[in-house]
Amino acid sequence: MAEPFRKSTLPNGIRVLSENVDSVRSLSLGIWVLAGSRHETPQTNGIAHLIEHMVFKGTEKRNAFQIAHAIESLGGGINAFTDKNLTCYYVRLMGEHMETGLDVLADLVAHPTLQPAELEREKGVISEEIREVEDTPSELIHDLFARNLFREHPLGLPVQGSVESVSALQVDDLHRFRVQNYSADKMVVAAAGMIDHERLLDLVWQKLADRPTGDGKENTQTMAPLSAQRFESHKTILQSHIMIGRRIFARNDPRRYSLAILNVVLSGGMSSRLFQNIREKYGFVYAIFAFSELFLSQGMFGIYAGVDTAHLEEVAALIYEELRKLAEGRLSMEELQKVREQFKGGMILSLEAMQARMNRMARMEIYEKQLLTIDQLLQLIEAVSLEDIQDLARYLYDRDQFIETVLLPDEALL
């Protein structure tokens, strides 16, 4: 399954990636910008996400309806997302309509009008989105956990911001953030599917040649040392939510392949250890899973559970016990091989979608500065040994590094 990756860098610094897939007639195309919540301050928190919303309200060439209609009238779809590190604007459509798709995306990225009246309306929309997260404890605890884990560092800021920070933002703030972060050196254009690389390269240069190169500077704020601590919050809820985790390595660390396997061991479906040894054995939880997120300079690993308050401490102890068992080497070659196959199968199935291929390619370039074929990635996963998993588990299982974040029901409800 050798993919014909192509990569070029335009004179202004924009990186252009493509993967031609002969067997499809569709195309997934995205413009990725290194502008996320880690580039914000507490005062500007939420601005990257707000800009992502605002560009869809109108550009110099199109109003909001025309932006959507230009893609949807061709049978395609257009959307965007923001996370801690980046913002991505993307389309999925027939390969023959690549120029239209890129024209609309470039219009959003380079020529939004950012009207004050639209900004005030969109602040209200995002404030409701924030309140929805705050009303959903299984989502809110992720924001609380990141804040407790990364403290004063921008990685601890929620992507959506707060109602207060978003409400205070003005059009001048949005323009200033775009000047600082929407430069060519912080952009990657990626496309997967029915794609001709040279044609893509020509179109990107036509539509984004005016993007300034930028200063190449990245947010390098240092992170304060961490020691084990428990944080508790209360809300009007009926179930407790707990997240146990720690800071870990960055996305380019070679241990990321062992981490991918370890996550499957812990919570890769109904046969996983957390599911079998906590949910099935004791019936204490409905939702329980391990997760990890790796950034440019740091990462985080954690385990989440929603649990009746009466069993909260038992579940926390059981989570630590599962990590301890892995650190002690209680993983057989048979289980490792099963998990390897599970991971590889899931990856292959997901990559039958062009959107997933485009995402994978762009993220590899942004975070790892290399493009690995599926075959190369499969070889790296196959090379993960029992010793690798145990070494990683020993590193993870450092009780002095764990932060516990707990969301408890108000006492009045107990």
pLDDT at 3: 64
Question: What pLDDT, on the 0 to 100 scale, is given for residue 2?
Answer: 44
Q: What's the DSSP call for residue 243?
A: E
CA distance 289 to 305: 7
What pTM value is reported for the model?
Answer: 0.94
Sheet of 403-409: strand order equals 229-235, 403-409, 240-248, 299-307, 285-294
Pairing state between β 299-307 and 240-248: antiparallel
pLDDT of residue 414: 47
- Which segments of the chain have a pLDDT < 50? 1-2, 412-414
The pLDDT score that the predictor gives to residue 374 is 87
User: If you count them, how many residues does the chain have?
Assistant: 414
Q: What dihedral do alpha carbons 96, 12, 85, 51 form, nearest 10°?
A: -70
> Would you say 336 and 261 are in contact if contact means Cβ atoms under 8 Å apart?
yes
- Active-site annotation, residues: 52
- At the topology level of CATH, where does 229-413 sit? Cytochrome Bc1 Complex; Chain A, domain 1 (3.30.830)
Least Cα distance to 15 among 271, 268, 213, 251 occurs for: 213
CATH architecture of the domain formed by 5-208: 2-Layer Sandwich (3.30)
Interval 304-362: pLDDT, tens = 999 999 999 999 999 999 999 999 998 999 999 999 999 999 988 988 899 999 999 99
Q: What SS3 state is found at 115?
A: coil
pLDDT for the residue 249: 95
Spell out the domain ranges in the chain: 5-208, 229-413
Whole-angstrom Cα distance, residue 69 to residue 73? Answer: 5
